Amino acid sequence: MSHFFLRALDRQASLAILALLVLAAVVPALNLLTPPGSALHLSTFTVSLFGKYLTYALLAVALNLVWGYCGILSLGHGAFFALGGYAMGMYLMRQIGSRGVYGNPLLPDFMVFLNWKTLPWFWHGFDHFWFAAIMVLLVPGLLAFVFGWFAFRSRVTGVYLSIITQALTYALLLSFFRNDMGFGGNNGLTDFKDILGFDIQSDATRSVLFAASAVALALGVLVTSAIIRSKYGKILIAVRDAESRTRFLGYRPERVKLFAFVVSACMAGVAGALYVPQVGIINPGEFAPANSIEIVIWTAVGGRATLIGPIVGALLVNAGKSFFTGWLPELWLFVLGGLFVAVTLFLPRGIIGTLAHGWSGLRQRRASSSAETGTDAEPRLPPDMPAGSKYEPAAAE
């Protein structure tokens, strides 16, 4: 067990984790310990905004585990994020107590409004934080387990799997919109008052939530790195590259995939649970298929199958989104679409992958065009080889 995590701490993972832990300490300090007029002061709004970005980054790290390292293109990861968010939202709703508009000590406002007399069975237990915390992991994990069990066992792969994950999140979107599901329907869950007894709006709580998001992201990096550097991680990549070959070695790709899928869903659930108290609302819109596609774009932009690429991608794209939606809101979707096309064409490895492997996208394009014109000289590296490794013809022995 100790080996499992020690192995995870290579240079890149250690640096990323260290940076996140420093961030978890410094950002709250800049918010709480500096006077509002000071040049070093970070507003609570900024702290919460970046806290939200960090939860997105954790979501991208979760997707990267299945897409980057195992080739499962999930277009429904937003569902696991939203379910984690709903579990946290239910806890926060129960904390409101009699401070709601209708003053009912037991029932949340929307239930009183719908004329419900008793708390539905699945709302019991959510008045305890520990129970909600377990559900944050359990509900997305269980859904991923059941879904993955059937999908992977039936050998559904590639674009078909992507389509049914998209259908999964869409089905959840439609059901959570319904009032009689008991999750607040269209409006979702909002108007939260406090978390673990602390005012959810206060600067200190916001800072702690930011720090918790940074620590959770650091843990996500640690877990991913530990998984990837284990023998299981090698099997995961082998399944991605040649699934049927692993079967003839005696491995069961469906189980290999299922484990990664469940771990990834739990990570996404934690991200959702940290997201909700920082934005103050969770509604069915989080299940929207477009959200899940955005996660794929963050991961692709940053670089899939790299440890920190998804984090970089999530931060950059969301900072861009905040900037554009404030400046030219009608342009944002065009920018996002253009970004995806540009990354696919010119940076197939994403930002981090390109930094690590050199400007492979442009080099390959130049190589293929010079091959067409016949001006190419020596044999070139196959696209999957890192720069620095040498191509040698078969060694004569």
Q: Given the rule CB under 8 A, which residues bind another protein?
A: 1, 3-4, 227, 230-232, 234-235, 237-238, 241-242, 244-252, 255-256, 259, 381-382, 384-386, 389, 391, 393-395, 397
Three-state DSSP class for 218? Answer: helix
**Which of 47, 63, 133, 43 is closest to 92 using CA atoms?**
133
**Angle in degrees, CA 5, 298, 293, rounded to 5:** 115
Give Dmax over CA atoms of the chain in angstroms.
86
Torsion of CA 152, 156, 162, 163, to 10 degrees: -130
- CB-wise, 117 or 231, nearer to another protein? 231
For residue 379, the minimal CB distance to another protein (Å) is 11
Smallest gap from Cβ 224 to another protein, in A, equals: 13
Smallest gap from residue 330 Cβ to another protein (A): 42
Smallest distance, another protein to C-beta of residue 273, A: 25
User: 322 or 364, CB closer to another protein?
Assistant: 364
Q: How far is the CB of 73 from another protein (least distance, A)?
A: 17
Instruction: Name the helix (H) or strand (E) containing 205.
Output: helix 203-229
Concatenate the DSSP letters of all residues of 332-372 into one string: HHHHHHHHHHHHHHH-TTHHHHHHHH-SHHHHHHHHHHHHH
Contact criterion met (CB below 8 Å) for 13 and 307 = yes
- Residue 352 tokens read as 């981090």
Output 99 or 245, the one with its CB closest to another protein. Answer: 245
Nearer to another protein, 5 or 334 (CB): 5
CB of 72 vs another protein, minimal distance in Å: 15
Start-to-end CA span in the chain (Å): 44
Query: Which three-class secondary structure state does DSSP give residue 152?
Result: helix
Nearer to another protein, 100 or 253 (CB): 253
Dist. CA 30–CA 46, nearest whole Å: 11
Considering beta carbons, is residue 243 or 286 the nearer one to another protein?
243
Residue 151 or 297: the one with the smaller Cβ distance to another protein is 151
Q: How far is the CB of 386 from another protein (least distance, A)?
A: 8
Structural contact between residues 92 and 276, judged by C-beta atoms closer than 8 angstroms: yes
Q: Which is closer to another protein, CB of 150 or CB of 323?
A: 150
Could you give the 3-state DSSP secondary structure of residue 254?
helix
Contacts of 392 (CB under 8 A, 6+ apart): none
The least CB distance from residue 314 to another protein, in Å, is 24
Residue number with CB closer to another protein (189 or 300): 300
Could you tell me where the DSSP H helices lie in 154-202? 158-177
Say whether 189 sits in a helix, a strand or coil: strand
Amino acid letter, residue 331: L
* Min separation Cβ 134 and another protein, Å: 21
**Integer Cα distance of 382 and 389 in angstroms:** 10
Give the CA angle between residues 127, 130, 132 to the nearest 5°: 60
Cα-only R_g, the chain: 23
Q: Which is nearer to another protein, 129 or 259 (CB)?
A: 259
CB of residue 357 to another protein, shortest distance in Å: 12
> Which sign, positive or negative, has the C-alpha torsion 178, 181, 185, 188?
negative
